[in-house]
Amino acid sequence: MEGCGIDMVTKISKTVIIPTRNEEEYIEDCINSLLKGSNVINSTEFIIVDGKSSDNTLNIIREKFQHLNLKILDNPKIYQASALNLGIENSSSNILEVGSDSQIIIRADAHSVYPENYLDLCVEALQKNLEVGNAGSIQKAVGENYFSEGVALVMNSTFGMGGVKYRKTGNKKLESDTAYLGCWWKADLVKLGGFNEEFQINEDYELNIRIRKFLNNNLITINPDLIVNYFVRTNFLGLLKQFFRYGLWKTKTLSIHPDSLKKRQLAPVLFVLFLFTLGTGNLILPYPYLQIVNWIAGILSFFWLIMIVDIWKDSPKIINIFLIPIIVLLMHISWGFGFLYGLLRWSTGRWEKS
């Protein structure tokens, strides 16, 4: 294996990096869930990298978790990639008096709650297979109100999110192109130059591309036993912004890795283009062509209705009959518009941080 070459009996050290920004509602539950494992407190370094929180996040951490092997760092650039790189750079390798090439970095999201023994199982998944470059988990979306429960239903569905592997529960261990969060040998992250700080989001996917391209231990794996509860956006505007930025920054990834586009990612873009064609077609197309377009729209609407029912059956509440179609439209249209806007920026040479 290229990188650390750790054998199965070598002691390792663990560093958990948690980027934060205004996470006072979630940070205590997040860290407490990570502590549910064997000897976590004595064997694990925790690094909080805070992006200028204006709430009570840091006070909660200092008050509740001063007994941990804990570092708190400032992240003036705010974004996740810079937070993770700061954590990697400042991580210690002497927790169990081992070298840096036997140190494992585990990423945790402050907006999530983790299953018992999460850290131990991450380490096990990485250590037992020397072909693995990143051992990740399953993301299970969780809602906190009527709207976010609808968002969670859509995000957990195959139709809503295009069948992304790290959202599928109940499967055997999976190889994938990406995973939720991650667990890496520090030596491999250093070799790759860490996370790409040109990315405000999608930095995880971009790193996984480089793992697959440049490491011999280039497998990305997902352990379906590691189901992490992720708390989704609770309002329309937050959801719109989130998915617009997902689409936008996907084009940034394509500008560096043109071969990284997946067929599933074209669906929202084609949907937006079809809506535009349908709208303009009704104004300018001759009747025979307009009839064809409307027939296609009718067929697509039928399949779209089947998709909505398939999502709704997992939680057949009356309110979800109304929420799910709206949420699906918001997600796909905002992602598609973000992608198209990103293509415009790319084609005009204006791809810079927004």
Identity of the highest mean pLDDT range in 157-171, 235-249, 271-285, 340-354: 235-249
Q: How many CB atoms lie within 10 A of CB 28?
A: 17
Query: Could you tell me if 73 and 47 are in contact, meaning their C-beta atoms sit under 8 angstroms apart?
Result: yes
Contacts of 239 (CB under 8 A, 6+ apart): 151, 232, 233, 327, 330, 331, 334
Higher pLDDT pick, 127 / 1: 127
Residue 97, pLDDT score: 43
Q: Is the pLDDT of residue 270 over 60?
A: yes
pLDDT band, residue 298 (cuts 50/70/90): confident
Over the stretch 135-191, which tens digit does the pLDDT of each residue have?
A: 999 999 999 999 999 999 999 987 777 667 776 666 566 888 899 999 999 999 999
The answer to whether the beta carbons of residues 306 and 160 sit under 8 Å apart is no
Kindly give the pairing relationship between strand 182-185 and strand 103-107.
antiparallel
Domains of the chain: 13-234 (3.90.550.10), 259-347 (no CATH)
Q: What percent of the chain is modeled with pLDDT above 90?
A: 59
Give the pLDDT of residue 50.
Answer: 98
State the amino acid at position 204 in one-letter form.
D
Q: What is the pTM of this model?
A: 0.88
Residues recorded for the chain: 354
Residue closest to 12 by CA, chosen among 216, 208, 186 = 186
Q: Buried b vs exposed e over 75-110: b needs ≥16 C-beta within 10 Å?
A: bebebbbbbbbbbbeebebebeeeeebbbbbbbbbb
Q: What is the pLDDT of residues 246-255, one digit of tens each?
A: 999 999 999 9
Return the higher-pLDDT residue of 295 and 53.
53
pLDDT at 277 over 90: no
Please report which confidence band the pLDDT of residue 340 belongs to, taking 50, 70 and 90 as the band edges: very high
Confidence class for position 353, pLDDT limits 50, 70, 90: very low
Q: What is the pLDDT of residue 42?
A: 79
Instruction: Give the separation between CA 336 and CA 267, rounded to whole angstroms.
Output: 8
pLDDT attached to residue 111 = 95
What mean pLDDT do residues 316-331 have? 90
pLDDT tens digits along 97-140: 444 468 999 999 999 999 999 999 999 989 888 899 999 999 99
Average of per-residue pLDDT values in the chain: 87
- What's the confidence (pLDDT) of residue 168? 66
| pLDDT tens per residue, range 57-112 | 999 999 999 999 999 999 999 999 999 999 999 998 544 444 446 899 999 999 99
Q: What is the mean pLDDT of residues 303-311?
A: 84
pLDDT at site 6: 45
